[in-house]
A and B are shown apart, each in its own frame.
Chain A
Amino acid sequence: MDTDEQTPSARAASPRAARWDAVQPWVSLLARLGLAAVLGFAAYTKLPPALSVQSVEAYQLFSPGAAEFIGYTLPLFEFALALLLVVGLATRYVGAVTALLMIVFIAGIISAWTRGLAIDCGCFGTGGEVASGETQYGLDIARDIGFLALAGIVMVWPRSPFTLDRLFGLYR
């Protein structure tokens, strides 16, 4: 939990650790910005909200009212997370929430898959019914696992350049 708080010099016992200390902030920066781009793009393609509502309904998990609420707020939530990742505010916790979101998405896709629904995951816009031969749940899950890994990097190593957190003296 506290690894990021130690000063690099205190940890740089071995050359390998020293190298990781030098590289890690840039790895985290890439993960942060990559994840922000993914979330921002996902939010953008879900609009207008009628589409997003439809994508949520296609999972057949929620009442119409709940589906509508999720359809409207999910793209906005994704956008907010993207924004926070770009500016680097509460980086570790935003990373954790994003990871959680990905796990929820993966669970949703698995649930649709096991129930034999033929839908597009609606991850990036255009959700809803598709021909039964055109589902690509495996690919969608693999992709979300990739995003989950990015979120994991941000969560475990929140220290990176250009963050608002630094102004608060966090993850320097």
Chain B
Amino acid sequence: MSKASRRAARERLRQERLKEQQRAKRNRILAVIGAAALVVLLVVGVGYFILTADSGPETEQSELYAGLPPQSVQQDGSVVVAEEGTEAPVVEVYVDYQCPACQQFEEESGAVLQEMAGDGEAIVHYRPVSIFAPRGEPVGSNSLRAGAAARAAADHGKFVEYNDVLFENQPAENEVGYEAGDLKEWGAQVGIEDPAFAERIDRESEIAGRFSDYYQQLTSAAQEEMSEERLRTMTLPELVEWGSEQGIDDSFLEGSYAEEVLDATNEAYARYDGENAFEATPSIYLNDEILGNEAFSAQRLREAVEGAGPGEVTTEPLASGEETEPEKAPSVGESPGTEE
């Protein structure tokens, strides 16, 4: 064998060894990637299983409704769900029916609240608001119509049930929803037969529609008349008052449930500050302290409530004579229609 061919053979051998090394390295990389992929699958799979298992109570919805204590309408239009004289932590639930996060909250924790209310473990105070009302059509009026409708359902002792139906049918944020026809139909669905409810819905729907135009007129007038700075720091009631001084008529709101919902919203903004400030919906307060993420987990919400002492309801029940549309004479502190 010549020197040259020996060198060539050595070179070939070297090349093959190099190739062999590269192949081995590629296999190692593939093995490592495979192991990593397996870890990802395992973590996501097992985690998904655990997360989906952490859901609300197992009780049937109809049983939860049957177990509910009286739903008493308060003077500000909010609804307290508790037996009279119950000593338990107070959970205040501020929701806007157009707010997607509120729907998530309802889906995750709505049932556990009903369960705890039914067992006397919590006094649940539902406080519908409309933070979206100033957003105009369609979001603003959707929100206001639904809030007013829920208040109307409360007159008939069906607030909780109606609240659930509203969230089940929440419209997307850029489309018209919660229309009068639907709102009336859902009333019948939860067992409100009194024609007064349907009349109320028609009236409130018209008012909600007018509010959008009114608010637009109000803000465009305000934008012309005052600095942006001042406009931004003004609360809605201040703006409304300024408007009526300028001759922008807000009397159509008077005595309506839409107005109650707007007032409730402004009161929520004014009521809390600092860490507990009311800034968005849903805001859930346990004995006047705002809850964080735990509100969105049925289990953690229950734990938070179980760890809290008894609280105070700050509102007064609507006395029987003050009902806008009394169905029948209710006893003080109870709304009509709950004995069903």
- Chain A: residues with CB nearer than 8 A to chain B? 5, 45, 47-51, 53-54, 57-58, 60, 72-73, 75-77, 79-81, 83-84, 89-90, 93-94, 125-126, 128-131, 164-165, 168-170
Contacts and interface: CB of A to CB of B under 8 A. Distances in A.
Interface of B: 25, 28-29, 31-33, 35-36, 39-40, 43-44, 47-48, 51-52, 54, 99-101, 104-105, 107-109, 173, 279-280, 293-294, 296-297, 300
Most buried by B among A49, A83, A126: A49
Give 10 nearest A-B pairs by CB, closest first. A48-B297, A90-B36, A80-B43, A76-B47, A50-B108, A50-B296, A80-B40, A76-B44, A54-B104, A90-B32
A129 B280 contact: yes
Task: Give the interface SS of chain B, mostly helix, strand, loop or mixed.
Answer: helix
A54 B47 contact: no
A41 to B, nearest CB: 13
B300 A48 contact: yes
Nearest to A46: B293
Contacts of B101: 54, 128-129
Contacts of B35: 89-90
A169 B39 contact: no
Given A60-B173, A129-B280, A90 B33 contact: yes
B173 A48 contact: no
B28 A72 contact: no
Contact of B32 (A50, A75, A129, A170): A170
A58 B51 CA distance: 21
Contacts of B36: 84, 89-90, 93-94
Nearest to A58: B100
B54 A48 contact: yes
A130 B281 CA distance: 10
